[in-house]
């Protein structure tokens, strides 16, 4: 269950106090785990050893914790949160987010005068990579369960990726293995067809069913943003991407309370340990981060964004919908 931010963190601390740093299990669990004979555990262990020993065909040398399909607002926001929680996260994106067609983004909190939509998209991408996400340009054409000895594994997925973003051209392909997948693409969900995921067809659109927190009916598969039938607004996509990511983190074996950066002593000054996912920083570090953020924002907003305005591609002779320069 996702903790309520208003809850006393001492509850979270009590539950996480004895977590073993190497295994992510409590001391009690670690002590009990060795004598237990469980074929499913052995299968999972063999699967992990197989992937670590032979990463051939898997992008970037092995199995990822999280694969995010779609680099729009929902997908990148999800990636920010999973990466910050310490999960090895890869975002695969084909083409451009529809956000870049906006003439001016005027309803996203924190920008009183609005912001150039293409600049906002660039900033969000930089935030994702700055927090540890890797980005891969390409199109995910299928996702299937990993196999162990020729049979589908209980967890884990393998995605086929067309690196040029156009499978019809026969471009270079690769595969990516991941424990979890977050589907945040729009409006294509055909790459999930082999998993038995619940999908609602609505004319030309397809929506993936979820439980209200981003979980689909397929264990380990999550959905975020417009594909989950959320309203088509950037702030809602960001919020649902974050919610889905936090749900995934809580479902994983990563100790986590909240993603908070607090002033020094906020927890320890009250005799409490810093909860997992939180960080205390002293005033010197706070000022350094503030100066860095100010410098970054000055640079981002020093000149108009160089990219041409986008529009609906059907209105111009350009696949990206770029408006002709005057």
Distance CA 48, CA 54 (A): 10
Is pLDDT above 50 for 28? no
Place 27 in a pLDDT band, splitting at 50, 70 and 90: very low
Distance CA 34, CA 18 (A): 18
The predicted model gives 52-65 an average pLDDT of: 52
Is pLDDT above 60 for 323? yes
The predicted model gives 126-152 an average pLDDT of: 89
Mean pLDDT of the chain: 83
Is pLDDT above 70 for 45? no
CA 198 to chain centre: 21
What was the pLDDT predicted at 203? Answer: 87
Each residue of 221-245: pLDDT tens digit? Answer: 999 999 999 999 999 999 999 999 9
The predicted model gives 246-267 an average pLDDT of: 97
What was the pLDDT predicted at 152? Answer: 63
Report in angstroms the alpha-carbon separations of 94 from 136, 154, 158, 230, 318.
9, 29, 18, 21, 16
Each residue of 208-225: pLDDT tens digit? Answer: 999 999 999 999 999 999
56 Cβ partners below 8 Å, 6+ apart?
Answer: none
Is pLDDT above 60 for 21? no
Distance CA 149, CA 322 (A): 49
Place 171 in a pLDDT band, splitting at 50, 70 and 90: low
Is pLDDT above 50 for 35? no
Report in angstroms the alpha-carbon separations of 143 from 16, 65, 182, 221, 254.
34, 15, 11, 10, 24
Q: For the ranges 27-41, 151-165, 189-203, 266-280, which has the lowest average pLDDT?
A: 27-41
Instruction: Tell the burial category of 188 from Cβ atoms under 10 Å away from its Cβ (0-12, 13-18, 19+).
Output: middle
Q: Enumerate domains of the chain plus CATH numbers.
A: 55-254 (3.50.50.60)
What was the pLDDT predicted at 18? Answer: 36
């Amino acid at each position: 269950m996702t903790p309520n931010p208003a809850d006393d963190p001492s509850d979270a601390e009590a539950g996480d106090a004895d977590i073993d740093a190497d295994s992510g299990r409590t001391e009690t669990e670690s002590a009990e785990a060795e004598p237990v004979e469980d074929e499913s555990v052995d299968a999972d262990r063999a699967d992990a050893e197989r992937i670590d020993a032979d990463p051939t065909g898997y992008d970037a040398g092995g199995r990822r914790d999280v694969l995010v399909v779609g680099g729009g607002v929902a997908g990148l926001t999800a990636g920010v949160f999973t990466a910050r929680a310490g999960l090895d996260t890869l975002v695969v994106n084909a083409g451009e987010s529809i956000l870049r067609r906006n003439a001016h983004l005027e309803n996203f909190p924190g920008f009183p005068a609005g912001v150039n939509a293409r600049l906002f998209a660039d900033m969000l991408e930089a935030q994702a990579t700055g927090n540890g996400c890797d980005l891969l340009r390409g199109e995910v054409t299928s996702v299937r369960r990993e196999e162990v000895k020729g049979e589908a594994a209980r967890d884990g997925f393998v995605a086929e990726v067309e690196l040029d973003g156009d499978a019809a051209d026969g471009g270079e392909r690769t595969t990516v293995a991941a424990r979890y997948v977050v589907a945040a693409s729009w409006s294509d969900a055909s790459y999930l067809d082999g998993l038995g995921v619940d999908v609602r067809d609505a004319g030309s659109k397809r929506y993936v069913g979820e439980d209200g927190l981003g979980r689909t009916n397929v264990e380990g598969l999550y959905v975020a943003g417009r594909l989950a039938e959320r309203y088509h607004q950037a702030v809602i996509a960001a919020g649902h991407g974050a919610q889905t990511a936090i749900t995934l983190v809580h479902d994983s074996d990563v100790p986590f309370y909240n993603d908070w950066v607090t002033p020094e002593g906020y927890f320890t000054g009250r005799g409490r340990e810093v909860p997992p996912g939180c960080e205390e920083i002293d005033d010197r570090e706070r000022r350094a981060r503030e100066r860095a953020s100010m410098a970054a924002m000055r640079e981002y907003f020093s000149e108009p964004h160089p990219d041409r305005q986008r529009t609906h591609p059907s209105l111009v002779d350009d696949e990206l919908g770029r408006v002709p320069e005057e």
